[in-house]
Amino acid sequence: MGKYIIQRLLQSIVVLFGLSLLIFFIARVMPGDPARVALGSLATKEQVENLRKEMHLDKPFPVQYYFWITSVLRGDLGTSLYTRRPVTTDLKAYIPATLELILFSFLMSLVIGQVMGVLAGYFRNSWFDGLSRLISYVGVATPAFVMAIFLLLVFTYVLNLTPAVGRLSLGAPPPPKITSFIILDSLIAGEFATALQALRHIVLPAASLAVANIAQEGRITRTSIAENLQKDYVMAHVVYGIPTASTIFKYLLRPSLIPTVSVMGLAFAYQLSYAFLVELVFMWPGFSRYAVTVMLNKDLNAIVAVVLVIGLAFSVVNVIVDIVVSFLDPRVRLQRVGG
């Protein structure tokens, strides 16, 4: 087991190293002089030359990469040309909001997806099964930003149930910072009104991200439940008079968990990129909106950092998923170590 985890970690490090090389290469190959972009069109030739030297742009590509990667490993991602602050400061400021959004949406899809899948599987070929199938087809086919627009229109503008933008209402004082997750922080501080407000703000953006996952997960769970309901051991449970609910939750959900974990892990990482547009629609002050802003402003240092952070998040999630799956399913663990 330990050997498998180490192998898996080494593999991710190699991939991340490759990704850093790729993104650095792309950033340097692109037309335009980074020093000139940084200083603006008013700077003199001398100033540009000096900055080029400072940024090691006058050296060959491998040397440039060496200087860059060593400072990245020291935690220095350079200065954002757009916000004029160190990129790491910016990232620290923006990542919690996105993390809160994604975690909330993840929980949402986990709970709703499982419940929908169990009900659809148990009452298969009923009207509910048909409805859940319809939701799945439409949910998978609707891009997150389109879903965001639809939800905004219906729940905010027509039904007037939820606020349109931000993490809290304008001017509302945020709770004392502990976890940087507003909902958790306000609960810790005992400010239930603030927590409720934050909850109302997060529901729509989280739902926009969650719908596709709910759809996917609901189908997986449904298929698994429907298949396993036919098995002999379930019949035995019925004969022994074991309550249906306990059969479902104790025995039927487990086999469906393995594909769910794999799919959800990947989906969780993908949400980071779909959050790009959802955060724009809801003016959510998070990492993804920052990412889009720096990209549109051709802020090279920040773009490279953003891609690296997402790559890092992606591989961390992938490693966790692989480890969890190998715990759930001994076949995976044994096969990989053996081979």
Partner 1 sequence: MSKKELLIAALSRKRVSFSKGWYKFSRNPLSVLGLVILLLIIVVAVFAPYIAPFPEHAGAFTNFRKSSLPPSLNHFFGTDTVGRDVFSRVIFGYRFSLILAVVVLGLSIPPGVILGLIGGYYQRTRIEIAIMRITDIFLAVPPLVLALAITVMLSPNLFNQMMAISLMWWPWYCRLVYAITTSLRYEYFVREAELTGASKAHILLREILPNCAAPILTKMTLDAGFVITVGASLSFIGLGVQPPKPGLGTMVADGAKRLPAEWWMAVFPALAIVMVILSFNLVGDGLRDMFAVEEV
Please report whether residue 65 would count as binding partner 1 according to CB under 8 A: no
| Given 1, 6, 7, 18, the residue binding partner 1 (CB under 8 A) | 18
Which residue in 9, 16, 51, 188 binds partner 1 (CB under 8 A)?
16
Q: Which of 4, 5, 8, 15 binds partner 1 (CB under 8 A)?
A: 15
How far apart (Å, rounded) are the C-alpha atoms in residues 308 and 263? 22
- Residues in 218-277 that interact with partner 1 by CB under 8 A: 269-270, 272-274, 276-277
Does position 61 interact with partner 1 (CB under 8 A)? The reply is no
User: In whole angstroms, how close is the CB of 208 to partner 1 at the nearest point?
Assistant: 12
Binding mask 122-141 for partner 1 (x = CB under 8 A): ---------------xx-xx
- Determine, following the binding rule CB under 8 A, whether residue 19 of this chain makes contact with partner 1: yes
Nearer to partner 1, 158 or 245 (CB): 158
Nearer to partner 1, 72 or 307 (CB): 307
- 74, 65 in Cβ contact below 8 A? no
Q: Which of 307, 317, 321, 326 binds partner 1 (CB under 8 A)?
A: 307
Spatial distance between the Cα atoms of 324 and 283, rounded to a whole number of angstroms: 34
Cβ count near 244 (within 10 Å) = 12
Q: Which of 1, 115, 153, 235 binds partner 1 (CB under 8 A)?
A: 153
Q: How far apart are CA 95 and CA 89, in angstroms?
A: 10
- Which of 5, 23, 93, 319 is the binder for partner 1 (CB under 8 A)? 23
DSSP 8-state symbol, 77:
-
284, 104 contact by CB (below 8 A): no
Say if residues 23 and 307 touch (Cβ distance below 8 Å).
yes
CA 169 to chain centre: 24
Judged by CB, which is closer to partner 1: 31, or 62?
31
Angle between helices 330-338 and 2-29 (to 10 degrees): 80
**Strands of 28-186, DSSP E:** none
Q: Around Cβ 55, how many Cβ atoms within 10 Å?
A: 18
Rule CB under 8 A: is residue 303 a binding residue for partner 1?
Answer: yes
Q: Quick check: helix, strand or coil at residue 79?
A: strand
SS3 assignment, position 176: coil
Residues that bind partner 1 (CB under 8 A): 11, 14-16, 18-19, 22-23, 26-27, 30-32, 137-138, 140-143, 145-146, 149-150, 152-153, 157-158, 269-270, 272-274, 276-277, 280-281, 291-292, 295-296, 298, 300, 303, 306-307, 310-311, 314-315
